């Protein structure tokens, strides 16, 4: 049986197990769109409004499901727009495959209309960038791409699709089934050495990260940590993977890292680092540990051998996937040592971090987040993009074992809204709450149309303070009283959301939030709550005026 390259590609994706895809249509991949015409209910195409939003959705979908998020965009401008999602998926270690239309092979190298060298553009941004130049190789390349996306350190793969490769006929057979890859597992001697190193510690810490944990796998890590009374710290924006109610959980090592977490990591003598890549944010700008030889003994466990020793030279490295390692750790006898008070101190500091003063704002986000901690379901999914507002879901929400956080390691603005839509596509019956700043929201607010069209409508909490808050904070600290380019004139967000079919309200006081949120939860069309936030309440513990005053005082005494 002969089929064209577009049909072959779609049949291979179905065989691999893809059920959802995200994209913006383009004439460069019409044959794929035609093949998707017949796959509704098996492989759905979620029609997005901007390629950046589509790529964010695919990246978030991969992060949430552990299967590659599939994205289709057109050549040139479409690929450029989608690149932000590729970068985000890479820094998140989230599996994703981006398919990009390409000019026909007979036009390559002439700078034809919208032509881009995809290997050059995406070569350092993705795990692999490839262009199909023989239609018969579609199954081979898709199999390799899927395998690369989910194995080792998961991440994005980019596949360029020349138009003639999609329209050419071939007798090549599609793939026959999904790819299943067992994670590398630690050896028994390696686990015994690990145990001896922990036994010999005075102040051990478990530091974990990564988004590719299987359901329930972290339970084994928690049981070992609790039985051994070892403090546990999450890397940036992965605190959802560990039960925050555990007495061993001591907080998150990320942007705005609190002093108690820095102290835990600095004072530790043995750090069991599981599935984390030692990024800038989780090391306080690479200052918590000396590069490359650390004072602390680091035991680094990772599914990719390329991550072990990439920045810090470990005292002991174990090439193992997080889930295989968790299983082995669960079978290990717990360790005992004299660090109970040290762990308790770290936990007490974490608990104390939730104590907040009243904020100088019509809507007090400290009180709002405390309420959400009480009323949201156990399996809630929170999302956010980037900005000072992210402190609320990232530092002041307590994640249970079933709750999830979709937040970009890359610090990309505009991620939260598309991620929340992807979460509703993946789990339509779960409560999904997106935290968005007014600047962050306007990066991808057009994707509310995607949510409406596909019935994937989350609850959006829009923290509206009229400024680009993170940049304003830096501005006031370094150039006090010289505001430039950080004040916004915003639209009527309530009217905008209603035009997209959302329930929407403006909330002008903290006391009005609880009832409004219940109306939002009851809405069958999703909801947007436009929260009146004062620019003064830029951070939980320091006002904008206090930042400015401190910076002016420092300049006067310099």
Q: How far lies 355's CA from each of 239, 340, 369, 385, 540, in Å?
A: 19, 24, 12, 25, 10
Q: Which among 459, 260, 461 has a CA at the least distance from the CA of 354?
A: 260
The total of other beta-carbon atoms located within 10 Å of residue 326's CB is 26
436 strand-pairing partners = 462
161 strand-pairing partners = 101
Q: What pLDDT score does 113 carry?
A: 65
Q: Which two tokens stand for residue 207?
A: 């530091």
* Long-range contacts of the stretch 82-85 (C-beta < 8 A, 24+): 82/51, 82/52, 82/54, 82/55, 83/55, 83/121, 83/122, 83/125, 84/52, 84/55, 84/56, 84/412, 84/414, 85/52, 85/54, 85/55, 85/56, 85/57, 85/58, 85/59, 85/156
Residue 285 burial by Cβ neighbours in a 10 Å radius (0-12, 13-18, 19+): exposed
Q: Which two tokens stand for residue 214?
A: 């299987």
Q: What pLDDT score does 108 carry?
A: 76
Q: Which among 75, 67, 78, 79 has a CA at the least distance from the CA of 150?
A: 67
Q: What pLDDT score does 103 carry?
A: 77
What value, to the nearest 5°, has the Cα angle with vertex 305 and ends 99 and 275? 80
Q: Which two tokens stand for residue 149?
A: 């996306």
70 strand-pairing partners = 21, 97
Q: What pLDDT score does 320 carry?
A: 98
Pick the CATH number of 365-557 from 3.30.70.260, 2.60.40.10, 3.30.300.180, 3.40.50.970: 3.40.50.970
The architecture of the domain spanning 188-352 is 3-Layer(aba) Sandwich (3.40)
- Kindly state the DSSP code that residue 175 receives in the 8-state scheme: P
CATH 3.40.50.1220 residue ranges in the chain?
Answer: 188-352
What value, to the nearest 5°, has the Cα angle with vertex 548 and ends 546 and 553? 95
Q: Which residues have a Cβ under 8 Å from the Cβ of 352 and sit 6 or more positions away?
A: none
pLDDT tens sequence for the chain (558 residues): 899 999 999 999 999 999 999 999 999 999 999 999 999 999 999 999 999 999 999 999 999 999 999 999 999 999 999 999 999 999 999 999 999 998 777 777 777 667 788 888 999 999 999 999 999 999 999 999 999 999 999 999 999 999 999 999 999 999 999 988 999 999 999 999 999 999 999 999 999 999 889 999 999 999 999 999 999 999 999 999 999 999 999 999 999 899 999 999 999 999 999 999 999 999 999 999 999 999 999 999 999 999 999 999 999 999 999 999 999 999 999 999 999 999 999 999 999 999 999 999 999 999 999 999 999 999 999 999 999 999 999 999 999 999 999 999 998 999 999 999 999 999 999 999 999 999 999 999 999 999 999 999 999 999 999 999 889 999 999 999 999 999 999 999 999 999 999 999 999 999 999 999 999 999 999 999 999 999 999 899 999 999 999 999 998 887
Q: What pLDDT score does 502 carry?
A: 98
The total of other beta-carbon atoms located within 10 Å of residue 138's CB is 28
Q: How far lies 339's CA from each of 198, 203, 335, 375, 509, in Å?
A: 11, 6, 11, 35, 45
CATH 3.40.50.970 residue ranges in the chain?
Answer: 3-170, 365-557
Phi and psi at residue 233, to the nearest 5°: -130, 135
Helices (H), 229-354: 259-267, 322-330, 340-352
Q: Which two tokens stand for residue 383?
A: 């999302």
Phi and psi at residue 461, to the nearest 5°: -100, 110
Q: Which two tokens stand for residue 130?
A: 């490839």
Angle between helices 5-16 and 138-150 (to 10 degrees): 30
**Is this prediction's pTM over 0.85?**
yes
CA dihedral 29, 30, 35, 39 (to 10 degrees): 90
Angle between helices 322-330 and 217-228 (to 10 degrees): 40
The architecture of the domain spanning 3-170 is 3-Layer(aba) Sandwich (3.40)
């Amino acid at each position: 049986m002969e089929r064209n390259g577009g049909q072959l590609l779609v049949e291979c994706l179905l065989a691999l197990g893809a059920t959802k895809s995200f994209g913006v249509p383009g004439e460069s991949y019409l044959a794929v769109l035609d093949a998707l015409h017949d796959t509704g209910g098996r492989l759905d195409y979620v029609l997005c409004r901007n390629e950046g939003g589509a790529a964010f959705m695919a990246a978030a979908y991969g992060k949430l499901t552990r299967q590659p998020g599939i994205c289709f965009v057109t050549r040139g401008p479409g690929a450029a727009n989608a690149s932000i999602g590729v970068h985000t998926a890479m820094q998140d270690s989230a599996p994703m495959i981006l398919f990009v239309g390409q000019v026909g092979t007979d036009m390559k190298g002439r700078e034809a209309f919208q032509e881009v060298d995809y290997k050059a553009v995406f070569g350092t941004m993705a795990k692999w960038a490839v262009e199909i130049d023989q239609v018969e190789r579609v199954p081979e390349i898709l199999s390799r791409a899927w395998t690369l996306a989910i194995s080792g350190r998961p991440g994005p793969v980019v596949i360029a699709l020349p138009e003639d490769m999609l329209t050419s006929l071939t007798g090549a057979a599609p793939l026959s089934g999904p790819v299943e890859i067992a994670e590398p597992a630690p050896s028994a001697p390696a686990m015994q050495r690990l145990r001896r190193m922990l036994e010999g510690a005075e102040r051990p810490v478990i530091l974990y990260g990564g988004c590719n944990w299987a359901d329930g796998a972290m339970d084994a890590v928690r049981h070992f940590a609790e039985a051994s009374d070892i403090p546990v710290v999450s890397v940036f924006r992965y605190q959802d993977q560990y039960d925050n109610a555990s007495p061993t959980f001591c907080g998150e090592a990320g942007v705005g890292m609190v002093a108690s977490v820095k102290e835990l990591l600095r004072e530790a003598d043995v750090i069991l680092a599981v599935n984390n890549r030692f990024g800038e944010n989780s090391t306080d700008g690479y200052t918590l540990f000396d590069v490359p030889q650390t004072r602390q003994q680091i035991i680094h466990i990772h599914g990719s051998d390329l991550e072990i020793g990439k920045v810090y030279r470990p005292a002991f490295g174990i090439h193992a996937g997080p889930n295989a390692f968790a299983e082995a750790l669960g079978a290990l006898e717990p360790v005992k040592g004299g660090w109970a008070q040290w762990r308790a101190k770290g936990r007490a500091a974490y608990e104390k971090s939730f104590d907040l003063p009243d904020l100088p704002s019509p809507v007090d986000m400290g009180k709002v987040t405390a309420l959400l901690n009480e009323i949201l379901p156990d399996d809630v999914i929170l999302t956010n993009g980037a900005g000072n507002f992210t402190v609320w879901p990232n530092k002041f929400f307590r994640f249970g074992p079933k709750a999830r956080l979709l937040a970009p390691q890359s610090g990309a603005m505009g991620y939260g809204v598309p991620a929340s839509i992807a979460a509703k596509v993946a789990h339509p019956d779960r409560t999904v709450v997106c935290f968005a700043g007014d600047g962050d929201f306007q990066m991808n607010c057009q994707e509310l149309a995607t949510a409406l069209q596909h019935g994937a409508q989350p609850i959006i909490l829009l923290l509206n303070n009229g400024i680009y808050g993170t940049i304003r904070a830096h501005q006031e600290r370094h150039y006090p009283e010289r505001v430039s380019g950080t004040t916004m004139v915003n639209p009527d967000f309530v009217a905008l959301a209603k035009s997209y079919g959302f329930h929407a309200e403006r909330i002008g006081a903290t006391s009005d939030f609880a009832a409004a949120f219940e109306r939002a939860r009851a809405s069958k069309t999703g909801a947007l709550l436009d929260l009146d936030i004062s620019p003064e309440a830029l951070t939980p513990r320091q006002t904008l005026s206090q930042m400015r005053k401190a910076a002016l005082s420092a300049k006067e005494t310099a």
